């Protein structure tokens, strides 16, 4: 099992920006994890996609949709590894 590493200032800033845009600070630890694992471009592109969807077309929350899309699409070469 991987030991969690401390996020860099840049990763934490990105995670807070995402949490703010999604009004989802409860999931800040998840957003930090994503910022550590995935490229900034991929996360920003996913965020823009989520923010472009009308609220009445979102089943749960924007935060839940963002998390779903990152997990579904993250394997497509967007990882930092």
Contact assessment for residue 70 and residue 48, using Cβ atoms and an 8 Å cutoff: no
Contact assessment for residue 5 and residue 36, using Cβ atoms and an 8 Å cutoff: yes
Q: Give tens-digit pLDDT for 37-52.
A: 999 999 999 999 999 9
pTM: predicted TM-score of the whole model, two decimal places: 0.85
Letter string b/e over residues 36-60, b meaning 16 or more CB atoms within 10 A of that residue's CB: bbbeeebbeebbeebeeeeeeeeee
Q: CA 55 to CA 53: how far, in whole Å?
A: 6
Q: Give tens-digit pLDDT for 60-81.
A: 999 999 999 999 998 765 666 5
């Amino acid at each position: 099992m991987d030991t969690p590493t401390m996020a860099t200032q840049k990763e934490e800033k990105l995670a807070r920006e995402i949490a703010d845009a999604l009004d989802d600070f409860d999931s800040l630890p998840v957003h930090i994890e994503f910022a550590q694992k995935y490229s900034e471009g991929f996360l920003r592109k996913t965020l823009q996609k989520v923010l472009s969807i009308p609220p009445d077309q979102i089943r749960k929350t924007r935060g839940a949709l963002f998390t779903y899309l990152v997990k579904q699409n993250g394997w497509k070469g967007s990882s930092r590894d």
